[in-house]
Amino acid sequence: MNSRILSASSLLSFEIEPDPNPLTVSTAAQPVTGRLNIQVGVGNSGPAFCKSIRVRIRIGAGASALTENRSQLTSAVTGATGWTARPGFAEGEWQVFEFAADRPVNVTGRAVTLVISQIAVNRTAGNADLQIIEESSPTNGSFTEKTTDAVVAKFPAEFVFRNFRPTKVMVGNGEKATLRWDGSAGAEYTMFWGRNRSEDVSGVREWDTPEGLAEATGFMLQAKVTAGGETLTHTLTTVVMVERPDLEVGDLNIGGKTTFRGGPLEGLVQNPVLIYQPTRKGTYVVDFRTQGPGIIYIRAHVNASAQQNIDLSAGDTGMAKNVARVMVTGPGTFGTASQPIASGRTLKLVTIWPETSGDGTVEYVWFPLGPQEPPVRLG
């Protein structure tokens, strides 16, 4: 896993990927030659313009240096046209590489990948210093230089950390997942998953989740090694999918039919809202416009001459003859849990309450699906 880095003043972001990853130091018997892929992207402040980027690599034999051999280092650009990788040059203990754009580039996402290769990694483990200097502007004018400091971890030659994977890429809902990896001894391993869950897994190379999974879950395994008084970290990630997962959503827009199975819509159907209640006998026609999906229900209670109490349920359109008639017309009519009335629909509520009928009440009730404002009366 590569970290996205940026400084407080930078307008761009950078993701540094060593190859091989993780990078290990050279030995007399086994020299290591690597490369750095530096992906340039948009920063936290949004799109910006860039004229050039300089990358400075520390040269030397110590832990904070990446290589002793500056002469064989090369540079290149991939992933975009209109950029030139200029030859590197020495600047004290640094080797500097400049990547210039033919014209200012408007960086709105991932822009370009800067490559420095033929790196003969030195023999001292530690965090090697790297500096990235961008010439950027938020407005395509008044370009200034901004520096981002970074490090590249060089692990001991014997360090191994790879093949982090689940035994099953998909588990059933409620089933535990098993993850495996290859890792050298002497490192501290920590598993991160879910919502701020973590566990020390240093003593194993195969691990079961404490509980079954109910949704697709990402796992991050972090390895820590201490070398030369410095802590070096490297992370690997994987994902386990879940068949028929539980879902937690924010806004949900449903364009087609939706069918719910397996029990009540707990947490989805919100508290009902009384939106209209005619209070006198007569004929009433009013329009309402929905502000979210839901179901409309008519509750009518009439004490007629026969002393009948009549409840009108969704799907009916009227009541006893010579008592009262109520109806809803419009797209979806009443709606159901599997086919609710959509947002932005106009419903016509009709109430005909003859003078000859008995006393009673009529209520039009809205059952919203999810949190929303109730329907709005028009006119």
The 10s digit of each residue's pLDDT in 210-265 is 999 998 899 999 999 998 788 999 999 999 998 888 766 556 566 665 555 555 45
User: How confident is residue 314, by pLDDT bands cut at 50, 70 and 90?
Assistant: very low
User: How confident is residue 346, by pLDDT bands cut at 50, 70 and 90?
Assistant: confident
**pTM score above 0.75:** no
Q: What DSSP assignment string belongs to 355-366?
A: TTS-EEEEEEEE
The 10s digit of each residue's pLDDT in 148-158 is 999 999 999 99
Element (H, E) at 5: strand 4-5
Count of residues in the chain? 379
CA 143 centroid distance within chain = 33
| CA dist., res. 371 & res. 355, Å (int) | 39
Q: What DSSP assignment string belongs to 283-314?
A: EEEEEEE-SS-EEEEEEEEEE-TT----PPPB
Tell me which residue of 310, 290, 301, 300 sits closest to 375, measured CA to CA. Answer: 290
Structure-block tokens of residue 44: 């936290």
| CA dist., res. 26 & res. 24, Å (int) | 7
Tell me which residue of 148, 145, 210 sits closest to 5, measured CA to CA. Answer: 148
Of 4-13, 221-230, 314-323, 330-339, the one with minimum mean pLDDT is 314-323
